Amino acid sequence: MISYFGDYANLCFEAFGDRVKHWITFSDPRTMAEKGYETGRHAPGLQLPGTGLYKAAHHIIKAHAQAWHSYNRTWRGKQRGLVGISLNCDWGEPVDMSSPKDIEAAERYLQFCLGWFANPIYAGDYPQVMKDRIGKKSAEQGLDMSRLPVFSLQEKSYIKGTSDFLGLGHFTTRYITERKYPSRQGPSYQNDRDLVELVDPNWPDPGSKWLYSVPWGFRRLLHFAQTQYGNPPIYVTENGASQILHCMQLCDEWRIQYLKGYINEMLKEPLLSHMQMVTEIVVPTVCTLCVLISAVLLMLLLRSQS
């Protein structure tokens, strides 16, 4: 499958590379692996808890690297484009900032979410906490080897550095506290992490049971990505909110406030100095908001005159 994906990517580079200058090999591969090979809620609908998602992710990372190398070797000199990957992650905030266990659990949450894919691409291997945790639990479950696949030395070298930018998708935040799951419960992604995700009931609820407006978490995730992966160029590739509509006409104030809050967090120092992220992502978004607000005002003006 890795070679097939490489062929597909190469075909796309050849056909569209004269016009497309920013390529994303995979969008939200964590959800693809977890929902497709752990819970079975997404295609291909396989329920292989604690094993399938790690194998799927392993192949995705290697396929991404092959696509990047293909572009770098054959097309970059002609087309002058960039190739990256888009990773989705919520921010994990410790429930108790004075508790070392909660702080470690929040860090573990981020490494099992963002670091799972970003660490191999930027550092050459899975986060150490993933290797240690999954390896230990695999041994306790009577397995001869870890359920987390291993990269060879050659693969580590091949994968490391295969991203010209980091695409980052973010929507909300979770409070994280530690909870030990006995190995006898069997393998699963949840049990491997040994944590619980919580929400603050006072957070604004946009209507989706998983999505709460927590702008400060966005800033903390951006800072984490910058410091953890060597300050790469960051493109915010996914962000937004649902809304419970209480009117039959255009009433999008909630979504405007959500986007305004998240954009403001991105604009604060020291992230403001990261101009590529600001100019490429914030300016188009702000322009879109201006157009939306202008359209609403125009509609109200026309209605008042009729």
* DSSP bridge partners of 173: 91
**What are the angstrom distances between the C-alpha of 146 and each of 126, 140, 149?**
13, 10, 7
Q: Could you tell me which residues come within 8 angstroms of residue 160 by beta carbon, excluding any fewer than 6 positions away?
A: 120, 121, 122, 123, 124
Residue that is written with structure tokens 């393998």 in the block: 187
Give the strand pairing for 195-198 and 173-178.
antiparallel
Tell me the CB-side half-sphere exposure of residue 83, using CA atoms within 13 A. 25
Active site residues per annotation: 238
Q: Could you tell me which residues come within 8 angstroms of residue 56 by beta carbon, excluding any fewer than 6 positions away?
A: 32, 33, 36, 37
How far is Cα 103 from Cα 19, in angstroms, rounded to an integer? 45
Q: Where are the alpha helices (H) located in 111-232, listed in sequence order?
A: 116-123, 128-140, 153-159, 189-193, 215-228
22-27 β-sheet, strand order: 22-27, 82-88, 166-169, 234-238
Tell me the CB-side half-sphere exposure of residue 244, using CA atoms within 13 A. 8
> What is the 8-class DSSP label of residue 271?
G
End-to-end CA distance of the chain: 61
CA 149 vs. chain centroid, Å, equals: 21
